[in-house]
Amino acid sequence: MRGIEVAGLFKDIVTFGAAGRVEAAEKRYESIVDEYQRLEGRVEVRRAEAESTFKLLVEEKQACVIELARLREISRNLSAREREFSAEAVREQPPSIGLARIESTLTAADAATSAAHGAVAGASTAMGAWALAGAFANASTGAAIANLSGAAAQSATLAFFGGGSLAAGGLGVAGGAAALSTIAALPALAVMAAFSHNRANKDIARFEEESVKIQGAMDAYLKLELLIQISERRASELHRVLGKARDAFVHQYNATYQSLFRWGWLSKAWRWLRRLFGGSYFKVHEVVEVQELIQVAAAFAQLIDQRVFEPDGSVKETTS
């Protein structure tokens, strides 16, 4: 240790203090690189945490869709006239509008499930694209579904997960990485060679220049960290809300189902026979009950449709 100090002192004397200045600049630079690398590590941890939360949200949405799909068991028995019937007690739009909304949600989820080749809950799968970014929401034809599926796969579903376009392109982290590799190539002996102040100034200027680049990259990484945190918290919020909404819907569904089919399959058989002989499957007051359930289901579907990202994996000021 003392030997190093003596050597440093000797270099300072020989170079009129230039070597010491270069060393000091290098140390300052290294401290910024250290901070940058710590930040980089922290962002990776956040990304992993966010992915866990996203996975939970995907699973929750899948569970919600399964519950919502149960509505079809009741709604398929509504006649065309009953679908357009706007009961005063409900004071809202006819059930056809709510049913269209619900079907749109269920169709998008079905398309995602088909594209995922099974109900995989991973965040970077087609299911993830649907649950987090609302992909497949406008898929009304087979061709459109196929295209969307391809597009989702092409962009690795969400640019976010790979840290791809968000991190590399938009945020300029690549520039920071390049800065790191450039400076790493600087031979340590270069400092030893700085026997003149001109040379020292050049070296110091390079350190400062690289420091500025890393500073820019740090700003970009801090933005990325913020975006990950907001996305994670938004996903967590949606997960929480959907859990409760599912409870509410299941409660309402069970209550209505119990009221309509009090005697189980016997109730269904009786209604079927009634329709066979020209009667309606549901009585008027039961249609109102079904309409109320459809309203709850439509509100539930609206919550299921909320997304964290835009369909292309980016984040914008509005996500709904």
Partner 1 sequence: MKQSTAIERLSKLKKMVAKEDVTAALVLVTQAVNETARSLVEVKRIEAERDVALMQIREKHDVYRRVFDQLFSERRDAISKHFEIIDKEIASNNQELILGALQGLGQIVAASPFTNLKLLAQVLEGNSKLEI
Give me the residues that bind partner 1 (CB under 8 A), please.
Answer: 16-18, 21, 25, 28, 32, 166, 170-171, 197, 200-201, 204, 208, 211-212, 215, 218-219, 222-223, 225-227, 229-230, 233-234, 237-238, 240-241, 244-245, 247-249, 251-252, 255, 292, 295-296, 299-300, 302-303, 306, 314-320
Nearer to partner 1, 160 or 281 (CB): 160
- Smallest separation (angstroms) from partner 1 to the CB of 165: 11
Alpha carbon distances (Å) from 21 to 164, 188, 195, 257: 39, 15, 11, 81
User: With respect to partner 1, which residue has the nearer C-beta, 128 or 172?
Assistant: 172
Q: How far is the CB of 180 from partner 1 (least distance, A)?
A: 17
**Lookup: tokens for 142:** 């087979």
Tokens 């609206």 belong to which residue? 302
Cβ closest to partner 1, residue 102 vs residue 227: 227
Contacts for 313 with CB less than 8 Å, ≥ 6 apart: 133, 155, 157, 158, 159, 160, 161, 165, 166
Structural element, H or E, at residue 229: helix 197-260
The counts of H helices and E strands in the chain are 13, 0
Q: Are 289 and 260 in contact (CB under 8 A)?
A: yes
Q: How far is the CB of 140 from partner 1 (least distance, A)?
A: 23
In whole angstroms, the minimum distance from the beta carbon of 183 to partner 1 comes to 15
C-beta closer to partner 1: residue 51 or 292: 292
Report the length, in residues, of the chain.
320
CB-based contact 112:126 (threshold 8 Å): yes
**Least distance to partner 1 from the beta carbon of 190, Å?**
17
In the chain, the amino acid numbered 195 is F
Minimum CB separation of residue 147 from partner 1 in Å reads: 26
Task: State in angstroms the smallest separation of the CB of 110 from partner 1.
Answer: 22
Rounded CA-CA distance 222/224 in Å is: 5
Is the Cα dihedral 54, 59, 61, 62 positive or negative? positive
Q: Which is nearer to partner 1, 226 or 269 (CB)?
A: 226
User: Whose Cβ is closer to partner 1: residue 94's or residue 114's?
Assistant: 94
Nearest Cα to Cα of residue 133 among 100, 172, 166: 166
Shorter beta-carbon distance to partner 1: residue 202 or 274: 202
